[in-house]
Structure formats: structure tokens, C-alpha cells
Amino acid sequence: MCGICASIGSGNQVQNVLRGLKDLEYRGYDSSGIAYLDKGEISLCRSVGQICNLEKKIDEKVCAKVLIGHTRWATHGRVCEENSHPHLSFKKTLAMVHNGIIENFETLKSEMKDVEFRSQTDTEVFANLIERQSGKNVEKLISASKIAKGSFAVAVIFKDEEKIYCAKRKSPLYVAYRKGQVMTASDISAFENKFEYFYILEDDEFAVLSEDEALFFDCNGEKIEKEKKNFEKVEFFDVFPDEKCFMRKEIAEEPIVLKRTFFKYFSEKLISEAVFQELRKYKSFHFIACGTAYHSGLLGAEFLQFFAKKSCSASVASEFRYGFQTIKKDCVYVFVSQSGETADTIACADLVKKKGGKVLCVTNVPYSSLNSLADFILPTFAGKEVAVASTKAYVAQVFTLLTFAGKIAGIDMEDELRKFVLNCKITQFDRSLFKEIYKFKKIFFVGRGQDYVTSLEGALKLKEIAYINCIGIPAGELKHGTLALVDEETLVVVTSTRGDLKEKIENNIQEIRARGGKILLLSQLDHNIDVEYKIKLEENLEWLMPIESIFYLQQLALEFCLEKGLDPDKPRNLAKSVTVE
């Protein structure tokens, strides 16, 4: 993971880089740091924890026209100042920030007997590898990149030159230009809109940045021309700028996200009928993703199976990647990802593509690495999602995949979906109900069909931000093992939105209550059964109920998190983009 941001310009770049790093903090917040040229030497300032700690530590007199910065999610080496980026090479001729993993760093390190390492990181080994190469600075970087294995996006400064050097393989890196300033970062969201245009670095490309130009090179050191991308094409929106808690803000934005998605797919007819026509020819669809995006994929498979009668399946990317898969020519492989930068998901798309399979990407970030592998793209319109726990992106994915299923099936859903998005609102979670259920330390989430997926997602949210050990399971599976855990101190959150499965779920509720378990029932159905706690859902098209129900489960997790005094936006041990395996 990790975020890198570096800037070179005519004035002091400290604030520019700090601002960029704050925009990248979602990628990791174990530690952060900067390096800059100072009277012919390289100076470092690093700090453990969030960027605000670094900000306090930087001397206000620091004035640097060339500056590299980093926000870290620890992979190699514990969280401490020595392992924080930037890393200096042994002879202090260069400093470097890195996002990715150098897989052969142990071997390389063992060959550097003369170097005293100051950290346990793979990055410091890479910095020394560059220092040991000969030639001009760009040649050194290119030669070192040929020896390093794994993934990297790096920004390097050399003490003898007022320039920033960049290299990229498998980790994202962008360069933005405006008169008097050139900046590089892991994500375009780090660029303020004052930049004129930006470039996307491809694998094994290199960039040399100076105050007024960005030059690009291939791995043979040949100069290359790169396409300038326009910022106008990248759409972000920010509707509740004053809300301090991003997760709360992002949940509140969900109705707007849905309206926007509806508008894009129906009013603007973003995807042409010819594309749907082409996709209809395929017999099956296999969804591949991680975490919350995998849950959307599970729903996507259900929707397509039900409406379009396609044969559908889903895999977690880290399993698919090393499984014994056969890539079928009559199957579309659908990759769902908010960031489009998740390492396992990208690796699977790459694998499918190399074996001649069709790749459809459902992503929220237009110029993401995943999209660069796509035969077809279904954009989601969640806008920038900052909180680590995915909320509005999930809702956008589910709605997009439902729309997609309708289009593939040739069913006209427009009126029903319009009605839904126009009336959609987030009802605040009832505080008095929360006070009742807060006492439970053992919580299960159960449901059937699409409600099982909602249960998986509800449990993931609660684990992720409130650190409560809970699971989501199919209601019918309870009696095959998990029921043994149910007692008087157990809360079972039952989601029941499928009318045809009403009695089945009532039987499951009876089984739980007979063992003393307490029930929180989320349903729009008229259940004739006693339960301890109830949330009445709005009546909607059955296939929209996963969106309706997750509004509540996201808020439930948020309430638990806040009550425990935790930070919902930055849960421990996690990062927003999982760009390492």
C-alpha cells in the first residue's frame, strides 16, 4: 500500500507535498516522512502515526524546492521511525520513497556486505541498489529497476541534482504538470485542480521531473512521448465538506451516489446498447474481487443469474489467483474494485487476459491500473471514498451490477429504479435501540440468498471498525455447527427481505431463540414472530433490499465504533488500497 507524493517547483514545496500526503493518507497511516535537498545535502524528517504528527515535527523554517514524501502502511519492518520512508542510501547520495514490495530484497541485501543498514525495509535495499549502479542518475535508476523483482512506484532525489526521478512497475504512479510545478503521486486525488494535465506512468517507464518539465524514458533509456490526460474527465464530488468523520459523510452521500449512478446509466446512457449486445453473447460470468467488493460480486452473480439466467459464480481474488482455474472463452470475468489498485484483483485480471479471457472491470477510479487491463468497463460513481471501510462504493457497486443485470436480461427497470433513487434516504440508526444492543459481545449476522451477502458485509463492517469478533453466515447453515455458540449472551442480526423465504427464516429465528439467543430483525416483511429488536425496512423492489438493509448495518458498525472511542476512518492494521499481495 503506502502513498508517495513528491513535488518540484519554483517555490517552497513543503505545503504542497503535505497536502498531497493528506489526500493519500487513506493508503496507510503507520508513519510518514519527507526528504529534501538542503545546501547540497539530503535532509529527512519522519514521524510515526498520522500525517498531522509529521506536520508538527517539520521545522517551519524548512524551505525546499525539491521534496519527496511518503505515508506508510508497514509491510517489511515494524512501525517505527527508522523504518519510515524516505530512506537514505548508505553513502547518503540519494533518498527514496517507495510503494510496493521488492521481492528479492533479502538476496540483494546479502550481496551488500559493505552497507550498514539503518532499517529493516526492502526500500532501503533498493536505495542502495541504485547507489551502487554507474552512469547518470537516470541510468542508475533504470539499471537498479532491472535487478529488482516485485512491485514498485518510487520517487528518488539525488544530492547532486535538483530533480525528482520516478520508476514504476505494478504499483500506480502519476505525474501532474502546471507552469512552475511538477508533482508525482500514487493517486491523482493528490493533485489539486490547479494542475493543467497529468500523465499515467506504465510499467517499466521512468520519469525525470524538473521545475518546468517532465521527461519520460523507457527501460532502454530511450526518451518517450506520453499522452497528456485532462483533469476534466475525472469526476469527483464532495457534498458534505464540513463533516469531520469521513465514514459518516460517505454513508450520508449514498442517496446522492445512487441518483448519480442512475443518471449516468439511464439518462446519459453511458454504455451503448452495442456493448450490452456484445456481452449478452457470453454464457457465463465469473466475479472476482476482495473484501467488500467481493460481496458486491456475490450480489452481481445473484442478479445476473436471476434476471438474465446466466451461469454465474464468484471467487475471492487471492484464492482464484493460485487456484487451478480454466479460463473459458464463453465466460466474462468481472473484476469489482473501488480503487482499481488491489494487487490480488489486478493479478487475476492479468492472468485472465494472458489466457485469452474477457475482462470486465467495475471500478470507481477512472485511470486505475485495473481499468488498463479491461476489455469492458462499468464505472461506478461513488466519488472519492476516503474512510477505509467501504460504504458508498459498495452501494454504488451493487446498484451498478443490478442495473447491468437488467440491461443484459433486456428487462426495463428504469421506472422502478428511478422511483427508488428519488425516494431513497438514510434513516438514522435509533440510538435507544443501539443502547440496548451495545451490551452484546457475541454477534452473528445471518440471512438467506441476497440477505446472506448483506450479513457477510454487515459482519465485515463491524469487525473492521469496531474490532468485534463476529461472522456472517447463511441462516440455513446455523444448525451445522455455529448454533453451538448461541447462548443468552448472543445477538443474532437476521436480515430477511425475500418474501419466498419468509417461513424458512422464521424457523431459523425459532432455533436461535430456543437456545436463548436474542434477535435483531431487519425486514420489510410482515413476520409473525416475536423478536427482541426490530428494524422496519422500507418496501422496495426485492432486489433493492440489499442496499436498503446495508444502510442500517453500516450505521450499526459506526455506532459501535464511536461508542468504543475508535477512529472509524482509520482502523488499526488496515489501509484503503491493498496494493500488496
As a whole number of angstroms, the distance between CA 135 and CA 140 comes to 6
Q: Nearest approach, Cβ of 539 to ligand M6R (angstroms)?
A: 28
Which one of the listed residues 109, 140, 358, 576 is annotated catalytic? Answer: 576
578 in contact with ligand M6R (CB under 6 A): yes
| 48/574 with CB nearer ligand M6R | 574
Q: Nearest approach, Cβ of 293 to ligand M6R (angstroms)?
A: 4
Please give the residues from 302 up to 361 whose contact with ligand M6R meets the rule CB under 6 A.
337-339, 342, 345
Active site annotation includes 2: yes
Q: Nearest approach, Cβ of 338 to ligand M6R (angstroms)?
A: 3
Report yes or no: 1 and 186 within 8 Å, Cβ to Cβ.
Answer: no
508-516 long-range Cβ contacts below 8 angstroms, 24+ apart: 508/446, 508/475, 508/476, 508/478, 511/478, 511/479, 511/483, 512/478, 512/483, 512/486, 515/483, 515/486, 515/487, 516/486, 516/487, 516/488, 516/490
Query: Within its chain, how far is the Cα of 581 from the centroid?
Result: 13
CA 124-116-4 angle, 5° bins: 15
Report yes or no: 470 and 445 within 8 Å, Cβ to Cβ.
Answer: yes
Q: Nearest approach, Cβ of 464 to ligand M6R (angstroms)?
A: 5
Interface mask toward ligand M6R for 116-155; x: CB under 6 A: ----------------------------------------
| 291/447 with CB nearer ligand M6R | 291
HSE (side-chain half, CA atoms, 13 Å) at 572 = 8
557 in contact with ligand M6R (CB under 6 A): no
| 7/339 with CB nearer ligand M6R | 339
| 13/342 with CB nearer ligand M6R | 342
The total number of residues shown for the chain amounts to: 581
Q: Nearest approach, Cβ of 211 to ligand M6R (angstroms)?
A: 34
| 89/345 with CB nearer ligand M6R | 345
CA–CA distances in Å: residue 92 to residues 36, 96, 248: 12, 11, 45
Binding ligand M6R (rule: CB under 6 A), the pick from 4, 164, 201, 290 is: 290
| 291/517 with CB nearer ligand M6R | 291
Tell which residue, 305, 298, 361, 303, has the closest CA to residue 332: 361
Q: Nearest approach, Cβ of 454 to ligand M6R (angstroms)?
A: 14
| 129/575 with CB nearer ligand M6R | 575
464 in contact with ligand M6R (CB under 6 A): yes
Binding ligand M6R (rule: CB under 6 A), the pick from 293, 304, 343, 475 is: 293
Partner residues linked to 490 by β-bridges: 442
Q: Nearest approach, Cβ of 370 to ligand M6R (angstroms)?
A: 8
Report yes or no: 530 and 522 within 8 Å, Cβ to Cβ.
Answer: no
Active site annotation includes 228: no
Interface mask toward ligand M6R for 361-400; x: CB under 6 A: ---------------------------xxx----------
Q: Nearest approach, Cβ of 290 to ligand M6R (angstroms)?
A: 4
| Distance between start and end Cα atoms, the chain | 10
**Count of positions on this chain that bind ligand M6R (CB under 6 A):** 16
Query: Within its chain, how far is the Cα of 343 from the centroid?
Result: 10
| Three cell numbers, residue 22 | 493528506
Q: Which residue is nearest to ligand M6R (CB)?
A: 291
CA 578-579-581 angle, 5° bins: 85
Q: Segment contacting ligand M6R (CB under 6 A): 167-175, 196-204, 285-293, 530-538? A: 285-293
Buried b (16+ CB within 10 A) or exposed e, 324-334: ebeebeebbbb
| Three cell numbers, residue 24 | 493519500
Place of cell 469496531: 466
Q: Segment contacting ligand M6R (CB under 6 A): 140-148, 191-199, 288-296, 526-534? A: 288-296
HSE (side-chain half, CA atoms, 13 Å) at 70 = 33
| 371/577 with CB nearer ligand M6R | 577
Report yes or no: 6 and 184 within 8 Å, Cβ to Cβ.
Answer: yes
Report yes or no: 577 and 293 within 8 Å, Cβ to Cβ.
Answer: no
| 345/555 with CB nearer ligand M6R | 345
Which one of the listed residues 2, 331, 361, 561 is annotated catalytic? Answer: 2
Tell which residue, 289, 320, 313, 321, has the closest CA to residue 457: 289
Report yes or no: 314 and 452 within 8 Å, Cβ to Cβ.
Answer: no
| 206/394 with CB nearer ligand M6R | 394
Phi, psi of 43 (to 5 degrees): -105, 150
Q: Nearest approach, Cβ of 250 to ligand M6R (angstroms)?
A: 11
Q: Nearest approach, Cβ of 501 to ligand M6R (angstroms)?
A: 27
**Chain residues that interact with ligand M6R, rule: CB under 6 A:** 290-293, 337-339, 342, 345, 388-390, 460, 464, 577-578
Residues noted as catalytic:
2, 576
